[in-house]
Amino acid sequence: MGKEQQTLNESVLRKIILSYTYVAIWIFLSFTVIVYNKYILDQKMYNWPYPISLTMIHMFFCSSLAYIIINVLKFVEPVQMTLDVYLKSVVPIGLLYSLSLWLSNSAYIYLSVSFIQMLKALMPVAVYSIGVLFKKESFKGQTMSNMLSISFGVAIAAYGEAQFNTFGVMLQLGAVCFEATRLVLIQILLTSKGITFNPITSLYYVAPCCLAFLSVPWMIVELLKLRDTSSFHLDYTIFGTNSLCAFALNLAVFLLVGKTSALTMNVAGVVKDWLLIAFSWSVIKDTVTPINLFGYVIAFLGVGYYNHAKLQALKAKEAEKKAMNADDESGKLMDDREGDKLGKKNDSDD
């Protein structure tokens, strides 16, 4: 009994260590990609203010690597995909993803890293609101009150922002809306049909689609500017490592959600946001005001309560599932006993 208990404790400890390792890897890569993108796009740093071009480089790199892994190295099997499913499901998701990445990367030109993370606290609000709109979530007064408290906190943080830029805020809010819609549509268009992507197949199908959509605004907005900047030469070290980090982040997201849960990722995201705010204030020297922090604390508490409520709902659902399974098992036992009794009675009658 002692050895079994020890083995069980070691197994639990191993799972805990692995979970924290996945969380640490995701936080590190997410942190790195955000700071790296800010470094490239910000005029005070690397000064390459072409967010569409940067996003297209990421998508080209990721789709090329995914193609090699699936078709050349054959490490991953492609998903069975019909043209109809691709056009009706993957293409809309690719469009939303390209818009989300374009706007979020553009926001780094106008806003500080810390303030962008505060605005990202609105993601649960957007996902819930769009979920209600598409009838994937049921409207609840308590949940809506929670969403309003998060929005109120972000509004206070925005009021206290020292380097507030209206256009930058509009870009980031647009990115949040497009990303939230994408997440809801993944449930409606893919998950409901039983189609699941791992990070490689996701990039294999979605990244080329994003690249195609981004090429249109790129030709209109950035191509002529890049032509005029004849002195610029693409630094393969900078953009290669930046793209590699973006690719690795996609793998880390799948690893974290697959080995733990989406809820763990949400909680880890809150930790990452605080780390980025601290880094932005201490290293990049962005101004973080007391009103900023006060507003974000309110939003943070709202997001924390939202995650707690989701956890409780998941536990209740799991308990209900176990109770139903137990009822089914007891029902089967009763049927078996009744069958045995009936069989014995028939034998005695004979």
Decide if 43 is inside a domain.
Answer: yes
**Has residue 264 got a pLDDT over 90?**
no
The count of other CB atoms within 10 Å of the CB of residue 74 is: 10
Among 60-69, 116-125, 131-140, the range scoring the smallest mean pLDDT is 131-140
Decide if 347 is inside a domain.
Answer: no
Number of folded domains that form the chain = 1
pTM of the model: 0.84
pLDDT level of residue 344 (50, 70, 90 thresholds): low
pLDDT level of residue 130 (50, 70, 90 thresholds): very high
* For the chain, percent of residues with pLDDT exceeding 90: 47
Burial 286-324, CB ≥16 within 10 A → b, else e:
bebeeebbebbebbbebbeebbeebeeeeeeeeeeeeee
Euclidean distance between CA atoms 37 and 50, whole angstroms: 11
What are the structure tokens assigned to 197, written together? 């992507």
Mean per-residue pLDDT, 1-28: 74
Mean per-residue pLDDT, 57-76: 92
**Has residue 304 got a pLDDT over 70?**
yes
Per-residue pLDDT tens digits for 267-298: 788 888 898 999 988 888 888 999 999 999 99
pLDDT at 66: 92
pLDDT at 80: 83
Give the 3-state DSSP-derived string for 324-337, with helices as H, strands as E and coil as C: HHHHHHHHHHHHHH
Among 132-136, 164-168, 169-173, 328-332, the range scoring the smallest mean pLDDT is 328-332
Decide if 8 is inside a domain.
Answer: no
Q: Which residues contact 99 (CB under 8 A, 6 or more apart)?
A: 174, 175, 178, 213
The count of other CB atoms within 10 Å of the CB of residue 264 is: 18
pLDDT level of residue 333 (50, 70, 90 thresholds): low
Mean per-residue pLDDT, 16-33: 88
* Residue whose pair of structure tokens reads 């959509």 in the numeric block: 213
Mean per-residue pLDDT, 328-338: 60
Range of the domain at 171: 13-301
Give the 3-state DSSP-derived string for 41-97, with helices as H, strands as E and coil as C: HCCCCCCCCCHHHHHHHHHHHHHHHHHHHHHHCCCCCCCCCCHHHHHHHHHHHHHHH
Q: Could you say which DSSP state residue 322 is in? A: H
**Has residue 22 got a pLDDT over 80?**
yes
Decide if 346 is inside a domain.
Answer: no
Among 96-100, 101-105, 304-308, the range scoring the smallest mean pLDDT is 304-308
Decide if 333 is inside a domain.
Answer: no
Decide if 313 is inside a domain.
Answer: no
Decide if 24 is inside a domain.
Answer: yes
